[in-house]
Amino acid sequence: MKSPVVYILASERNGTLYVGVTSDIARRVWEHRTGAADGFTRRYRVHHLVHMEPYPSMEEAIIREKTLKKWRRAWKLDLIEQDNPGWRDLYDDLLR
């Protein structure tokens, strides 16, 4: 999948959250999972892809990412629960 995507990673259900944006979601999540992406996600073991939203342009995706980063934690948890109530790791779906 090579299109702009806003995504949320979690350490576990209701755990630490990370919001990001990328044009190559499979590669970017792989970087987070393997520790190739240094920083927050590596330090706090935030590796489970629990939410993603595709966008037609990178500009729109960046606007959404910035908006989500300003959201309260409870709102982010509600967003994840809407589409992924079981907090299933969506990474395997990318590889199919």
Alpha-carbon dihedral sign for residues 83, 10, 65, 54: negative
Q: How far apart are CA 61 and CA 21, in angstroms?
A: 7
| Position 47 pLDDT exceeds 90 | yes
pLDDT at 93: 92
**pLDDT band at 37, cuts 50/70/90?**
confident
Counted domains in the chain:
1
**Cβ atoms of residues 5 and 25 within 8 Å:** yes
Q: What is the pTM of this model?
A: 0.95
Check which CATH number belongs to the domain holding 86 and give it: 3.40.1440.10
Angle at 72 between CA 13 and CA 48, to 5 degrees: 30
Amino acid of residue 92? D
